[in-house]
Protein backbone atom coordinates (compact mmCIF):
# COMPACT_ATOMS: atom_id res chain seq x y z
CA UNK A 1 0.00 0.00 0.00
CA UNK A 2 1.32 3.48 -0.88
CA UNK A 3 0.30 7.05 -0.11
CA UNK A 4 1.75 10.49 -0.69
CA UNK A 5 3.94 12.47 1.69
CA UNK A 6 4.22 15.82 -0.08
CA UNK A 7 4.57 14.71 -3.69
CA UNK A 8 6.57 11.56 -2.87
CA UNK A 9 5.11 8.05 -2.90
CA UNK A 10 5.77 6.28 0.40
CA UNK A 11 5.35 2.57 1.02
CA UNK A 12 3.33 1.57 4.09
CA UNK A 13 4.31 -1.17 6.57
CA UNK A 14 7.52 -2.61 5.08
CA UNK A 15 7.56 -5.66 7.36
CA UNK A 16 5.03 -7.37 5.12
CA UNK A 17 7.56 -7.30 2.27
CA UNK A 18 9.23 -10.57 1.24
CA UNK A 19 12.91 -10.41 2.20
CA UNK A 20 14.74 -12.51 -0.38
CA UNK A 21 18.42 -12.47 0.69
CA UNK A 22 20.17 -10.78 3.60
CA UNK A 23 22.88 -8.52 2.17
CA UNK A 24 24.35 -7.16 5.38
CA UNK A 25 23.85 -5.78 8.86
CA UNK A 26 25.17 -2.77 10.76
CA UNK A 27 24.46 -0.72 13.86
CA UNK A 28 21.43 0.93 12.27
CA UNK A 29 19.67 -1.99 10.65
CA UNK A 30 19.62 -4.98 8.35
CA UNK A 31 19.74 -4.83 4.55
CA UNK A 32 17.85 -7.35 2.41
CA UNK A 33 17.42 -7.93 -1.29
CA UNK A 34 13.73 -7.41 -2.01
CA UNK A 35 13.01 -8.19 -5.67
CA UNK A 36 15.58 -5.98 -7.44
CA UNK A 37 16.17 -3.45 -4.65
CA UNK A 38 18.36 -3.29 -1.55
CA UNK A 39 16.13 -2.45 1.41
CA UNK A 40 17.43 -1.25 4.78
CA UNK A 41 15.13 -2.08 7.69
CA UNK A 42 15.99 -0.08 10.78
CA UNK A 43 16.43 -1.92 14.05
CA UNK A 44 13.97 -0.89 16.80
CA UNK A 45 16.82 0.51 18.91
CA UNK A 46 20.23 1.76 17.87
CA UNK A 47 22.79 4.17 19.33
CA UNK A 48 23.78 5.59 15.96
CA UNK A 49 22.01 8.61 14.48
CA UNK A 50 19.87 7.72 11.49
CA UNK A 51 17.96 9.60 8.82
CA UNK A 52 14.72 11.34 9.64
CA UNK A 53 11.70 10.89 7.39
CA UNK A 54 12.16 14.42 6.07
CA UNK A 55 15.87 13.84 5.33
CA UNK A 56 15.15 10.56 3.53
CA UNK A 57 12.50 12.25 1.38
CA UNK A 58 14.88 15.12 0.61
CA UNK A 59 17.69 12.75 -0.43
CA UNK A 60 15.34 10.69 -2.58
CA UNK A 61 14.72 13.73 -4.82
CA UNK A 62 18.45 14.12 -5.70
CA UNK A 63 19.32 12.44 -9.01
CA UNK A 64 22.80 11.01 -8.44
CA UNK A 65 24.38 8.24 -10.51
CA UNK A 66 27.03 6.61 -8.31
CA UNK A 67 26.09 7.75 -4.80
CA UNK A 68 22.85 5.82 -4.36
CA UNK A 69 19.96 7.75 -2.82
CA UNK A 70 16.84 6.37 -1.10
CA UNK A 71 13.98 5.37 -3.43
CA UNK A 72 10.97 4.01 -1.54
CA UNK A 73 10.61 5.48 1.96
CA UNK A 74 9.23 2.85 4.33
CA UNK A 75 6.91 3.82 7.18
CA UNK A 76 5.12 1.93 9.93
CA UNK A 77 1.45 2.30 10.85
CA UNK A 78 2.22 5.47 12.81
CA UNK A 79 3.98 6.90 9.74
CA UNK A 80 7.39 6.72 11.39
CA UNK A 81 10.43 5.98 9.22
CA UNK A 82 11.30 2.28 9.38
CA UNK A 83 13.71 2.10 6.45
CA UNK A 84 14.21 2.80 2.77
CA UNK A 85 15.18 1.12 -0.47
CA UNK A 86 17.96 1.87 -2.96
CA UNK A 87 18.99 0.42 -6.30
CA UNK A 88 20.73 -2.91 -5.75
CA UNK A 89 24.26 -3.07 -7.17
CA UNK A 90 25.97 -6.46 -7.01
CA UNK A 91 29.45 -6.08 -5.54
CA UNK A 92 31.96 -7.74 -7.89
CA UNK A 93 34.85 -6.92 -5.57
CA UNK A 94 37.86 -4.63 -5.67
CA UNK A 95 39.52 -6.76 -8.36
CA UNK A 96 36.80 -5.67 -10.79
CA UNK A 97 37.81 -2.03 -10.36
CA UNK A 98 41.49 -2.83 -10.83
CA UNK A 99 40.85 -4.36 -14.25
CA UNK A 100 38.94 -1.41 -15.75
CA UNK A 101 40.56 0.38 -18.68
CA UNK A 102 41.81 3.90 -18.06
CA UNK A 103 39.07 5.42 -20.26
CA UNK A 104 36.37 3.78 -18.12
CA UNK A 105 38.15 4.68 -14.88
CA UNK A 106 38.34 8.33 -15.92
CA UNK A 107 34.65 8.34 -16.78
CA UNK A 108 33.73 6.67 -13.48
CA UNK A 109 35.79 9.12 -11.41
CA UNK A 110 34.24 12.00 -13.36
CA UNK A 111 30.70 10.75 -12.66
CA UNK A 112 31.54 10.34 -8.97
CA UNK A 113 32.86 13.91 -8.95
CA UNK A 114 29.62 15.16 -10.55
CA UNK A 115 27.62 13.41 -7.81
CA UNK A 116 29.72 15.06 -5.12
CA UNK A 117 29.19 18.48 -6.68
CA UNK A 118 25.43 17.86 -6.94
CA UNK A 119 25.18 16.70 -3.32
CA UNK A 120 27.29 19.63 -2.13
CA UNK A 121 25.03 22.06 -4.01
CA UNK A 122 22.14 20.41 -2.16
CA UNK A 123 24.02 20.99 1.15
CA UNK A 124 24.39 17.26 1.81
CA UNK A 125 27.39 16.31 3.94
CA UNK A 126 28.89 12.92 3.08
CA UNK A 127 29.76 10.57 5.91
CA UNK A 128 30.66 6.88 6.15
CA UNK A 129 32.68 6.90 2.92
CA UNK A 130 34.38 3.57 3.60
CA UNK A 131 35.02 0.30 1.79
CA UNK A 132 32.17 -1.41 3.65
CA UNK A 133 29.74 1.02 2.01
CA UNK A 134 31.12 0.66 -1.52
CA UNK A 135 30.13 -1.74 -4.30
CA UNK A 136 32.53 -2.29 -7.20
CA UNK A 137 30.66 -3.03 -10.42
CA UNK A 138 32.38 -1.55 -13.46
CA UNK A 139 32.96 1.47 -11.23
CA UNK A 140 32.50 2.74 -7.69
CA UNK A 141 29.02 2.87 -6.13
CA UNK A 142 28.38 4.36 -2.68
CA UNK A 143 25.52 2.19 -1.44
CA UNK A 144 24.51 3.43 2.02
CA UNK A 145 23.44 7.08 2.49
CA UNK A 146 22.14 6.44 6.00
CA UNK A 147 24.74 8.66 7.70
CA UNK A 148 24.49 11.63 5.34
CA UNK A 149 23.42 14.87 7.00
CA UNK A 150 22.06 18.22 5.82
CA UNK A 151 24.22 21.26 6.47
CA UNK A 152 23.32 24.86 7.24
CA UNK A 153 26.52 26.32 5.76
CA UNK A 154 26.95 27.38 2.12
CA UNK A 155 27.58 24.95 -0.74
CA UNK A 156 31.22 26.01 -1.22
CA UNK A 157 32.03 25.07 2.37
CA UNK A 158 30.07 21.82 2.05
CA UNK A 159 31.98 20.93 -1.12
CA UNK A 160 35.29 21.50 0.67
CA UNK A 161 34.23 19.29 3.57
CA UNK A 162 32.95 16.59 1.22
CA UNK A 163 36.17 16.55 -0.79
CA UNK A 164 38.16 16.10 2.43
CA UNK A 165 36.08 13.02 3.18
CA UNK A 166 36.44 11.67 -0.37
CA UNK A 167 40.19 12.36 -0.54
CA UNK A 168 40.70 10.57 2.77
CA UNK A 169 38.69 7.60 1.52
CA UNK A 170 40.54 7.43 -1.79
CA UNK A 171 44.04 7.61 -0.33
CA UNK A 172 43.65 5.88 3.03
CA UNK A 173 41.21 3.14 2.06
CA UNK A 174 40.71 2.58 -1.66
CA UNK A 175 44.27 3.02 -2.96
CA UNK A 176 45.78 1.37 0.11
CA UNK A 177 43.43 -1.62 -0.22
CA UNK A 178 44.06 -1.84 -3.99
CA UNK A 179 47.84 -1.77 -3.51
CA UNK A 180 47.73 -4.41 -0.79
CA UNK A 181 45.36 -6.50 -2.94
CA UNK A 182 48.04 -6.55 -5.67
CA UNK A 183 51.24 -6.78 -3.65
CA UNK A 184 50.16 -8.49 -0.40
CA UNK A 185 52.85 -6.33 1.22
CA UNK A 186 51.66 -3.84 3.81
CA UNK A 187 54.87 -1.78 3.82
CA UNK A 188 54.85 -1.41 0.02
CA UNK A 189 51.16 -0.52 0.11
CA UNK A 190 51.86 2.33 2.52
CA UNK A 191 54.84 3.51 0.41
CA UNK A 192 52.77 3.63 -2.79
CA UNK A 193 49.80 5.44 -1.26
CA UNK A 194 52.07 7.97 0.46
CA UNK A 195 53.87 8.53 -2.85
CA UNK A 196 50.60 9.12 -4.74
CA UNK A 197 49.42 11.55 -2.08
CA UNK A 198 52.77 13.39 -2.15
CA UNK A 199 52.60 13.73 -5.97
CA UNK A 200 49.03 15.01 -5.70
CA UNK A 201 50.08 17.67 -3.18
CA UNK A 202 53.14 18.65 -5.24
CA UNK A 203 51.05 19.24 -8.36
CA UNK A 204 48.55 21.36 -6.39
CA UNK A 205 45.38 19.76 -7.72
CA UNK A 206 42.12 20.89 -6.13
CA UNK A 207 41.16 17.32 -5.31
CA UNK A 208 42.48 13.79 -5.58
CA UNK A 209 39.82 12.71 -8.10
CA UNK A 210 41.07 15.25 -10.64
CA UNK A 211 44.66 14.15 -10.04
CA UNK A 212 43.80 10.49 -10.60
CA UNK A 213 41.85 11.28 -13.78
CA UNK A 214 44.90 13.05 -15.23
CA UNK A 215 47.59 10.77 -13.83
CA UNK A 216 46.17 7.35 -14.75
CA UNK A 217 46.71 8.21 -18.44
CA UNK A 218 46.67 5.00 -20.50
CA UNK A 219 46.94 2.49 -17.66
CA UNK A 220 44.21 0.68 -15.82
CA UNK A 221 44.32 0.99 -12.05
CA UNK A 222 46.28 -2.23 -11.67
CA UNK A 223 49.04 -1.05 -14.00
CA UNK A 224 48.95 2.44 -12.51
CA UNK A 225 49.66 1.07 -9.03
CA UNK A 226 52.42 -1.20 -10.39
CA UNK A 227 54.09 1.82 -12.01
CA UNK A 228 53.85 3.76 -8.77
CA UNK A 229 55.42 0.89 -6.81
CA UNK A 230 58.64 0.88 -8.88
Q: Would you say domain 94-228 falls under CATH 3.30.70? A: no
Tell me the average pLDDT across 192-217.
91
Bridge partners (DSSP) listed for residue 12: 75
Domain range annotation of the chain: 2-87, 94-228
Q: Which of 177, 217, 213, 206 is nearest to 193 (CA)?
A: 177
Beta-carbon contacts of residue 156 (< 8 Å; ≥ 6 apart):
none
- Residue with more model confidence, 140 or 73: 140
pLDDT at residue 1 tops 60:
no
Digit-coded pLDDT (tens) for 8-28: 555 545 555 667 789 988 878
Spatial neighbors of 214 by CB under 8 A, at least 6 apart, are 205
Q: Give per-residue pLDDT as tens, 93-148.
A: 999 999 999 999 999 999 999 999 999 999 999 988 889 999 999 999 999 888 89
pLDDT tens figures, 80-96? 888 899 999 999 999 99
Q: Are 8 and 60 in contact (CB under 8 A)?
A: yes
- Cα–Cα dist 51/77, whole Å: 18
Output the pLDDT for position 10. 57
Distances (CA, A) of 216 to 67, 107, 211: 22, 12, 8
Torsion of CA 40, 46, 49, 50, to 10 degrees: 20
Q: pLDDT class for 5, splitting at 50, 70, 90? A: very low
pLDDT at 48 over 90: no
- Looking at domain 2-87, its CATH class is alpha beta
d(CA 28, CA 132): 14
Nearest one of 148, 98, 91 to 122, comparing CA atoms: 148
Amino acid sequence: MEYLVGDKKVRYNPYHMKKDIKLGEGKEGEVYLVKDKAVKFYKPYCQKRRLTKEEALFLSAISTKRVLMPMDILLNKRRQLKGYSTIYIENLGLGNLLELRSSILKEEFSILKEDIVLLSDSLVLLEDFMLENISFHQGIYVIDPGSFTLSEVDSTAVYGLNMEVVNEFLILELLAAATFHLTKKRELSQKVTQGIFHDYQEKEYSDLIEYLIDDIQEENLKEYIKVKSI
